[in-house]
């Protein structure tokens, strides 16, 4: 096998109102684990160019079983860890900025302003 389990499908929705197929578990020392790119929680959009949209779970499983030795997956990376609800960035949706992208430059600016103020006060 490919070394991972999937959940989801039109008949077994993993996320309410979402028929997508998700990676539920990566088997240690399996093909996906050794490759290292696939992660638990990833949404699988296509297998070997075949779209997984609106498939029943068992039909998706069959696609994976018949994928062959060289498998190409189109994957949408999860945005947060599995500790809470899984959030995925869809086509045209904004993922927003991570908090660190705002805090780090702001902190650097504040430190620079304090340094300039202290240097200026020493010169007076």
Long-range residue pairs from 4-8, CB within 8 A, at least 24 positions apart, any chain: 4/30, 4/32, 4/33, 4/38, 6/44, 6/57, 6/60, 6/61, 6/64, 7/57, 8/57, 8/60
pLDDT digits (tens, 9 = 90+) for 11-30: 999 999 999 999 999 999 88
Tokens at 11, concatenated: 């008949």
Cα(87)–Cα(33) distance, integer angstroms: 22
Cβ atoms of 40 and 82 closer than 8 Å:
yes
pLDDT digits (tens, 9 = 90+) for 73-92: 999 997 655 555 555 444 44
Residue 109 has pLDDT above 50, yes or no: yes
pLDDT confidence bin for 94, thresholds 50/70/90: very low
Considering only the top CATH level, what class is 4-76? Answer: mainly beta
pLDDT confidence bin for 116, thresholds 50/70/90: confident
């Amino acid at each position: 096998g490919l070394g991972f389990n999937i959940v989801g499908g039109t008949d077994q929705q993993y996320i309410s109102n979402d028929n997508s197929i998700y990676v539920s578990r990566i088997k240690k020392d399996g093909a996906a684990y050794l490759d290292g790119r696939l992660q638990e929680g990833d949404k699988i959009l296509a297998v070997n160019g075949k779209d997984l949209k609106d498939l029943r779970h068992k039909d998706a499983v069959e696609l994976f079983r018949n994928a062959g030795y060289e498998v190409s997956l189109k994957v949408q990376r999860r945005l947060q860890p599995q500790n809470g609800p899984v959030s995925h960035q869809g086509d045209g949706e904004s993922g927003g900025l991570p908090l660190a992208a705002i805090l780090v430059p702001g902190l650097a600016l504040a430190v620079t302003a304090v340094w300039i103020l202290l240097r200026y006060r020493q010169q007076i």
